[in-house]
Structure 1
Amino acid sequence: MVRSNKILWGTALLAALWSSAAPAALPAEQITDAALVQRLQGFSEGKVAVNGVNLHYVIGGKGPALVLLPGWPETWWEWHKLMPQLARRHTVIAVDLRGMGGSDKPATGYDKKTLASDVHALVKQLGYDRVDIAGHDIGSMVAFSFAANFPQATRRLVMVDVAHPDAALAKWPLLPDAGTFSDQLDERHPYVWWFAFHQVKGLPEELLAGRIGMEQAWMFRYLMQDEHKLDALDRAVYEAAYSSRDAIRAGNAWYQAFPQDIIDDGTYAPLAMPVLAVGGPGYEWLKSTLAAKSSNHRVAKIADSGHFIPEEQPEQLLKYLSEFLD
């Protein structure tokens, strides 16, 4: 009985702490895709059916097509600070990947090759044979796979803070180096425990459904240099996008596909198109990985930024993108 009471008390304490730290809830109508798109002048949203799934996208601007792919645990909205400026010279297409946001969340198809095929089919349906493509986090993996599998459709590739899975990823340590793991990432000793946690099927849904905000708040604190760069609206958007069991399952499936992604990576020829890679904590990962995978690339370090570069340092990223794409 004493042990049971201690567990109940601890659970209540954690809930109270989370409640006091969590941002005030925003009305649901403020965080729908339709409401968010209205905040971006000249943009609209749509859905297309490709490869048996419906993909949600946001489009605006004029000029050569530029596809933007987001990562976990976010949606197309992670690019919103850059989209209006990029739309001055590009037709910007921000896509929710299979399993993300307003897109379908089927049981299968979360390897990066299939996700890239989804995106390729989407841009073809929108009338584009060749695009520039940029991705962050999981989206960066998909963007690389897009370029590797559809080089004829790729004019330029941009990777933000994450490389495509390869054989080296399978050897990342399960445990942190002694004294290096705290509540903020040590770039010299990165420890990405959630790569392993997300391999587990079923349990994350049980633990996190309706409580995903707790994990997200920890991630943003750990992976950002200044977590205030994400405001209450941003956090509410991402919490709502990943709160359901299906959304948690689908997001985890991107990680569970890493072993297959590593196999696929071994079949890809080096990229020939121009590649720009920009990194915060992922700078060294990108630099070492691309050395053998691209014959025409540049890797740049974003100053004063953690992992969520599009939201932490949008001005720096916009400068690199503009110089590279234009």
Structure 2
Amino acid sequence: MKIFQINFQTASKYNSQIKQSGAPQRSAALLIVVVAIFIGVISHNYVFAQSINKEALSDNALVKKLPGFKSEFSEVNGVKIHYVEGGTGKILVLLPGWPQNWWEYSKVMPELSKKYHLIVVDYRGMGSSDKPANGYDKKTIASDIYGLLQKLGYKKAFIAGHDIGAQVAFSIAANYPDLTEKLIIMDVPHPDESFAAVTMLPALGTPTDKLDPARPFLWWFAFNQMRGMPEDLLEGRFALAQKYIFHYLLKDDRSINAFDRAVYANVYNNRDAIRAGNGWYQAFAQDIADYKTYSKLTMPVLGIGGPGYNWLKYSLPEKTLNLKVEKVEDSGHFIVEEQPSVVIQDIIEFLD
């Protein structure tokens, strides 16, 4: 606020000089006024973002923004799992991706909860859930979700996931087909041989400012393989990595606002959270090996893709018998937040 006041005072000072100057001087003074006000506004926004109370970012505070939902914990396989639950109807499990948590689905939860009983899970390593030393392969996480649903008394569910959550969702369907009534995979497939072929170097002419789906440069795949270094670099300042990830993968940066970014940065700011999130990537080799053992899925499967649309169309047919793939136009990778109404419509039409 102090910076903003200083720049406003500067603008006022030069504004008074404009009236007393000739034309050239007026133009220069006017430019100074505009720059001063612009810097003041940016500074004001920065101070506002920095002033968000951490309590406002807690699960208990966030769930209050979503009437009808409650924040819960349950211990499964020796791991405390956090989840948010609400709504009526058949069970629909929603699994978030990196670098986010259950709040990723906040734009779609109110509408979906009118038709389904939602269980939005911070799986092993995410958000307020435990972050053990191991168990970040998708098959192990799938067993956590299965155990959670069994403990809650649910024998059948729709399973949906985005990003890493989509990989977990696929693993649930592959390992627990009797549980999975229908499966929804959003923008990223389960790790297969195509993951092992991701290039270390960007294609000629890339990386561009925004993701080119035809020539993606997935630099964080390698960065997240490092053990210890990401924690050293990002502890307490995860927003730095988040800034570049979101800008590169979002079609419109405004789709994830300052408050939402603060929520996500807050849950990844400590060493254990960074280590655990990277653990999902470090398990890719095991995930690929597990994938080779899976039979084709017999339940209906929906792929919803933004830039990952072609990747889903290439990967999913290998392991599915009843597949539909939908394209989300005018969206980057974070389709749930960039095009929530489209995602809601696709989900409801498929599940109904």
TM range, normalised to the smaller chain? over 0.9
Whole-Å separation in 1 of the counterparts to 2:137 and 2:143: 10
Residues 125-149 of structure 1, C-alpha deviation per residue, up to 9 Å, x if partnerless?
1110010010000000000000000
Q: Which residue of 2 aligns with 1:60?
A: 86
What are structure 1's unaligned runs of at least 5 residues? Answer: 1-16
Whole-Å separation in 2 of the counterparts to 1:18 and 1:69: 36
One-letter amino acid of the structure 1 residue matched with residue 170 of structure 2 = F
Choose 1 or 2 for highest CA Rg. 2
Q: Which residue of 1 aligns with 2:301?
A: 275
Whole-Å separation in 1 of the counterparts to 2:135 and 2:160: 21
Residues 264-288 of structure 1, C-alpha deviation per residue, up to 9 Å, x if partnerless?
0000001000000000111111110
Shift of 1:183: 2.4
Match of 1:149 among 162, 166, 175: 175
Calculate the aligned-residue CA RMSD, in Å: 1.5
Match of 1:90 among 97, 116, 119: 116
Residues 208-232 of structure 1, C-alpha deviation per residue, up to 9 Å, x if partnerless?
1011101001111000000101112
Match of 2:207 among 181, 185, 188: 181
Q: Which residue of 2 aligns with 1:108?
A: 134
Shift of 1:245: 0.4
Whole-Å separation in 1 of the counterparts to 2:292 and 2:261: 37
Whole-Å separation in 2 of the counterparts to 1:37 and 1:43: 6
Identity %: 54
Match of 1:169 among 188, 192, 195: 195
Q: TM-score, normalised by structure 1?
A: 0.93
The aligned length equals 310
Q: Which residue of 1 aligns with 2:249?
A: 223
Match of 1:44 among 66, 70, 79: 70
Whole-Å separation in 1 of the counterparts to 2:298 and 2:100: 30
One-letter amino acid of the structure 1 residue matched with residue 202 of structure 2 = P
Q: Which residue of 2 aligns with 1:118?
A: 144
**8 Å CA contact 1:98, 1:105 repeated in 2:** yes
Residues 57-82 of structure 1, C-alpha deviation per residue, up to 9 Å, x if partnerless?
00001110000000000000000111
Match of 2:162 among 129, 136, 146: 136
**Following superposition of structure 1 onto structure 2, how do residues 187-206 of structure 1 map, counting pairs within 5 Å?**
187-206=213-232
Q: Which residue of 1 aligns with 2:266?
A: 240
State the SS of the aligned residue for 2:319. coil
**Runs of 4+ more than 6 Å apart:** 17-23
Whole-Å separation in 2 of the counterparts to 1:55 and 1:185: 33
Match of 1:262 among 285, 288, 293: 288
Shift of 1:19: 11
**8 Å CA contact 1:18, 1:214 repeated in 2:** no
Q: Which residue of 2 aligns with 1:99?
A: 125
One-letter amino acid of the structure 1 residue matched with residue 169 of structure 2 = A
Residues 86-134 of structure 1, C-alpha deviation per residue, up to 9 Å, x if partnerless?
1111100000010000100000000000000000111111110010010
What are structure 2's unaligned runs of at least 5 residues? Answer: 1-41
Shift of 1:241: 0.4
One-letter amino acid of the structure 2 residue matched with residue 279 of structure 1 = G
Shift of 1:22: 8.6
Q: Which residue of 1 aligns with 2:351?
A: 325
Whole-Å separation in 2 of the counterparts to 1:46 and 1:232: 26
Whole-Å separation in 2 of the counterparts to 1:158 and 1:48: 24
Q: Which residue of 1 aligns with 2:324?
A: 298
Shift of 1:44: 0.5
Q: TM-score, normalised by structure 2?
A: 0.86
